[in-house]
Amino acid sequence: MPKETILVVEDEEDILELIRYNLAKEGYQVLYSYTGEDGLVKAFNHSPNLVLLDLMLPGLDGLEVCKRLKRDPRSEHIPIIMVTARGEEADVVTGLELGADDYVTKPFSPRVLLARIRSVLRRRSQSQEESNDPLSIHDVVIHPGRHEVTVKGKRVDLTATEFRILQYLARRPGWVFTRYQIVDAVHGQEYPVTERSIDVQIAALRKKLGSAGKYIETVRGVGYRFKE
C-alpha cells in the first residue's frame, strides 16, 4: 500500500538519490527539491506528511526554510526532520526552537533515517488521536485539537516542540520530570539531544508564556514540573 508523502530538500544529488531510493523502497511517495525556494513551493502546494530538510542549502538555507514553514498556516502542521553535516549544537538547538521535530547528522545510515521518519510519523499520528478536549490549569488553556495555547484569554504562539513540552508537563501538574523523560515523551527514545537544548526550549517557553511562565518550575538537580 502507498504510504505517506515525504518531501526531501537536499542539494547533493548523490545523497538525494540515496534517500529517494530507500524511501521509495519502503513504499513512501517521494517529492524532492534541490533548493530551499523550490522546497517551500512544493511544501505549500502538496502538503506532504513530512519534510526531510538539509540545513546547508544554496541560497535560502534550511533554517530559514524551517522558519517559513512553521510560520505559515499552510505548512505549520508538517513535521520536519533536519539533516546536517555540521554537527554543531547551535544549529540543532536553533532548528528545534524553530519547530523541527528531529535531526540526523551526515553521514547517516539509511536504516537509522527510516527509523527516525517512522518515529516522527507515529508520534504525529498518536498526537492526532489523543483527546482534543482543552486542558485548563491556572491561567493557561491548552487546546490539543487546535494546537493552540492561551494565557488569560490571549493566544501564545509556540513551536511544535514547545507546545508538546508544555502539554506534557501540564497534563501531570506537580510531577517532576527529568530532561531525558521530557525528551523521550516529546521526541521519542534514543533522541540525541543535549541537556542544554531542553533548558533553552524551557527558557523560550517561559518567556513566551509571560506571567504564566512561573508555573514551569525548575527542580534543581532533577528537572522540571508544572506547578499544581
Do 94 and 142 fall within a single domain? no
Do 11 and 124 fall within a single domain? yes
d(CA 31, CA 43): 9
d(CA 224, CA 199): 10
Helix runs in the chain, H state only: 13-25, 36-46, 62-71, 89-98, 110-129, 160-170, 179-187, 195-209
- CATH number, residue 21: 3.40.50.2300
d(CA 187, CA 164): 9
Do 88 and 75 fall within a single domain? yes
Do 22 and 71 fall within a single domain? yes
Q: Count how many Cα atoms sit within 13 Å of the Cα of residue 173 in the half-sphere of its side chain.
A: 9
Q: Exposure string (b/e) for 144-163, b if CB count within 10 Å is 16 or more? A: beeeebbbeeeebebbbbbb
Domain count across the chain: 2
Q: In what order do the strands lie in the sheet with 5-9?
A: 29-33, 5-9, 50-54, 80-84, 102-105
List beta partners, residue 50: 6
Residue at a domain's end among 108, 128, 148: 128
d(CA 71, CA 80): 13
Do 122 and 184 fall within a single domain? no
Do 9 and 79 fall within a single domain? yes
Predicted local distance difference test score (pLDDT) of residue 200:
87
Do 136 and 122 fall within a single domain? no
Do 73 and 150 fall within a single domain? no
Q: Which of 5, 3, 8, 4 is nearest to 18 (CA)?
A: 8
| Number of helical H runs and strand E runs in the chain | 8, 12
d(CA 132, CA 35): 37
Do 65 and 121 fall within a single domain? yes
Residue at a domain's end among 59, 94, 128: 128
- CATH number, residue 172: 1.10.10.10
Predicted local distance difference test score (pLDDT) of residue 65:
93
* DSSP helix/strand/coil, 108: coil
For residue 84, what are the domain limits? 5-128
- What does each of the 228 residues of the chain score in pLDDT, given as a tens digit? 457 899 999 999 999 999 999 999 999 999 999 999 999 999 999 989 999 999 889 889 999 999 999 888 788 889 999 988 765 667 777 888 888 888 888 888 899 899 989 888 887 766 555 556 788 899 899 988 778 999 999 999 998 888 889 988 998 888 888 887 787 777 654 455 556 778 888 999 999 999 999 999 999 888 899 998
Predicted local distance difference test score (pLDDT) of residue 87:
59
Do 98 and 170 fall within a single domain? no
Do 109 and 147 fall within a single domain? no
DSSP state of 72: S
Residue at a domain's end among 106, 128, 150: 128
Do 23 and 135 fall within a single domain? no
